[in-house]
Amino acid sequence: MIQRSLVLMKPDAVKRGIVGEILHRFERSGLKMIAVKLVQADENLASRHYPDSDEWKTKVGQRTLDDCEKYGIDVMANMGTKDPLEVGGIVKKWNMEFLMSGPVLAIVFEGVNAIERVRSLVGDTVPTKASAGTIRGDFSLDSAIAANRRGRTIYNLIHASGSEDEAKDEILMWFKEEPMISYKRVHDDLYSY
């Protein structure tokens, strides 16, 4: 199934100068880039990019609370609340601040099962948990605990769409009506998609 996925190389990837190395990993896997641009996100774009749903906030908030418990961190001292929804809201604010803190390289990749393929190349959300060989596992050693202690988001280099619906919304959000470029890579003929 040919899919499209939105990938953002976040400001940590751009500022560290590892955009080329990361791009190489996607490129050599056979994924085809069909749109690319460097963007300085404003508050409107950053806010739309991170969902405002209670479901997302609760998921992220609960993960933070679990990590705090596991590592013996005082949640109240760090976050000022023990409510997963409120904690998730704080993480959303941190995400927005970070996304706006510098340029982001936005890319649309196309390929067979692109959504899942991209996510598997990227690795776990928390770099200290990401497998070696994945982008986050190889290029970052950040953790939720280190991030939360400093009142910031996890620096994990990449955003990648989580589903086809998400990809559709995100591509429209970041590229509006801009055209996607259609062309053939050697892979297309070699593997006859």
Q: Residue 93 interacts with ligand ADP (CB under 6 A)?
A: no
SS3 per-residue string spanning the chain: CEEEEEEEECHHHHHHCCHHHHHHHHHHCCCEEEEEEEECCCHHHHHHHCCCCHHHHHHHHHHHHHHHHHCCCCHHHHHCCCCHHHHHHHHHHHHHHHHCCCCEEEEEEEEECHHHHHHHHHCCCCHHHCCCCCHHHHHCCCCHHHHHHCCCCCCCCEEECCCHHHHHHHHHHHHCCCCCCCCCCHHHHHCCC
The one among 3, 5, 134, 156 contacting ligand ADP by CB under 6 A? 156
The one among 3, 5, 95, 134 contacting ligand ADP by CB under 6 A? 95
Catalytic residue among 24, 49, 159, 187: 159
Amino acid found at 133: G
Q: Find the shortest distance in angstroms from Cβ 72 to ligand ADP.
A: 16
Amino acid found at 41: A
Total residues binding ligand ADP (CB under 6 A): 14
The one among 107, 153, 170, 175 contacting ligand ADP by CB under 6 A? 153
Q: Residue 13 interacts with ligand ADP (CB under 6 A)?
A: no
Which residues 20-79 are close enough to bind ligand ADP by CB under 6 A? 60, 63-64
Which residues 98-137 are close enough to bind ligand ADP by CB under 6 A? 125
Q: Residue 143 interacts with ligand ADP (CB under 6 A)?
A: no
Residue 159 is a catalytic residue: yes
Task: Tell me the catalytic residues.
Answer: 159
Write out the residues near ligand ADP by the rule CB under 6 A: 60, 63-64, 91, 95, 125, 144, 147-148, 153-154, 156, 159, 162
